[in-house]
Amino acid sequence: MSTITDQLNLAQERTHTNCCPAELMEFVIKRGEGQLAANGCVVVNTGDRTGRSPKDKYLVDHPDSHDNIDWGKVNQPITEAQFDTALDIANKFINSQDDVFVFEGFTGAQIKRRLGVKVITTLAWHSLFAQTLFIKPGSASDAGDGSWKHDWTVINAGCHKLTKEEQEALGVTSETFIAQSLERKTVIILGTEYAGEMKKGLFYAMNYDMPEVGVFPMHCSANIAKDDPSNVALFFGLSGTGKTTLSADENRALIGDDEHGWGPDGVFNFEGGCYAKVIGLTREKEPQIWDAIRFGSVLENTVVDPKTRIPDYDDISITQNTRVTYPVDFIPGAQIPSVGGHPKNVVFLTADAFGVLPPISKLTPEQAMYYFINGYTSKLAGTEEGVTEPQPNFSPCFGGPFMPRRPAEYAQMLADRINKHNAHVWLLNTGWTGGPYGKGGQRFSLKYTRAMVTAILSGQLDNAPTVEHPVFGLHMPTSVPNVPNEVLDPRNTWADKDAYDTQATKLAKLFRENDAKYNLPANIASGGPKA
């Protein structure tokens, strides 16, 4: 059986290891991989894949891990032989290149729990992405002594699209193939230049490895009060629900925007950087993210004016999934190293395009388990072919594509920690009110959502009076500072109350259809809709 280094010729004269950002950006420009924007960041395109390729992601089915995996559409099995074939294809491609870029660093800001990673790429900007997003030894985010150990390897040969012969050898029909082995601690990327595959491959690794050492891995952002280190908050949510936006708060220190662990000592960031969406970005709405886009950051699939070199964040002609990567310490006052205590508040974010869910609800322990396992948000009309009205998007634990283990295992870890540390749990709808998306509904005001978050984190709502939603049983505060009372009950915002009731019943039924596949215990099922 091949090892990850058997076939790689990482000769010194062609291998560039842990280059500084300036060196990598020089390579990017010189090799024609991207351009320099007026704000100093490097702008790149990811080719025909502008997002993850979940249908092309596979996991080696090995006896040591087989019984721990939630096999299915997300965790698709391949054999050791298929993995070796992919490894051979990737290594041959990398060995054909004049330059190879290597990043050696860490995932995990807590020293006792972090994993050492080696990321091998053929594109300089991929290496800059890795250096920006992960933790570089000796950097501000590294709380250790600068030493490095090797646990996981990412071999990114994404510039090579599989030939028909290679597809036949692997038993697939796609030019893209992403393979991961938990036992050999290796990720192989073929046929896609989308850098997020590297990030999510290592998040997947942490999601498998961390429970073994008593850490609950989470797809969430986190921040901490600047004047109270005991006031830590978590924000769970799928893409587009506001994790990055709501955790970047000038009154609080950012721990991280996407991936964390909750262990015996508290919360810690898995990453050294942020990977934020920039569609519609403005300085007025998100000043911290706007200012973080500068020298050392990587802007993906964003149109730049050819004369002024100013990025146009409203232009979605390449993709709606425009993104930027920057180090955590680009956010003013960020928590460095990225660690905090046990959370006082846990916030679930959903963008409900049906216009049904309340903008804010306090959850019981049973509701917390229920909504975590279901992991709900919406797909919008027009985002995919054939989608003509809002559709539910249920992703277990608010991160199903990155969770190798069964949802109930992660949900139990959350419940244990919430109960032990008496954390309050909330559901925030950052989606629509007054009607569905595209049919009279309006997106909830970010100003009001921020006011709700402020009220939660300040403790103003801990014992606030609530009313129960008649369909979902959610406990809705009757008053929130700086938020009009009439928007707190979503039924009040609909002109046609009967239409609201019909829509609420419809969404409740969709929840129950989804939760049926989990065979939930009665106490957790009781946290769902009443209808």
Catalytic residues, by residue number, are 52, 200, 219, 239, 243-244, 258, 323
List, in sequence order, the alpha helices (H) in 335-486: 365-374, 407-421, 446-457
- How many whole angstroms separate alpha carbon 270 and alpha carbon 259? 6
Eight-class DSSP state of 174: S
- Please identify which residue in the block is written with the tokens 């059986």: 1
- How many secondary structure helices (H) and strands (E) does the chain include? 12, 28
Question: Between vectors from CA 180 to CA 175 and to CA 184, what angle results, nearest 5°?
Answer: 135
- How many whole angstroms separate alpha carbon 358 and alpha carbon 64? 44
Sheet holding 152-157, edge to edge: 15-17, 100-107, 115-121, 152-157, 186-190, 177-181, 57-60, 76-78
Pairing of strands 266-269, 259-263: antiparallel
Per-residue exposure over 301-314, b if at least 16 CB sit within 10 Å of its own CB, e if not: bbbbeeeeeebebe
Q: CB-based contacts of 285: which residues, under 8 Å, 6+ apart?
A: 245, 446
- How many whole angstroms separate alpha carbon 408 and alpha carbon 413? 9
**β-sheet bridge partners, residue 77:** 59
Phi-psi region of 6 (alpha: psi -120 to 50; beta: other; left: phi over 0): alpha
**Nearest residue to 126 (alpha-carbon basis) of 198, 65, 176, 205:** 198
Measured in degrees and rounded to the nearest 5, phi and psi for residue 500 equal: -60, -45
- How many whole angstroms separate alpha carbon 194 and alpha carbon 138? 27
For residue 27 the two structure tokens come to: 């390579």
Q: What DSSP element (H or E) covers 129? A: helix 124-133
Question: Between vectors from CA 75 to CA 71 and to CA 80, what angle results, nearest 5°?
Answer: 95
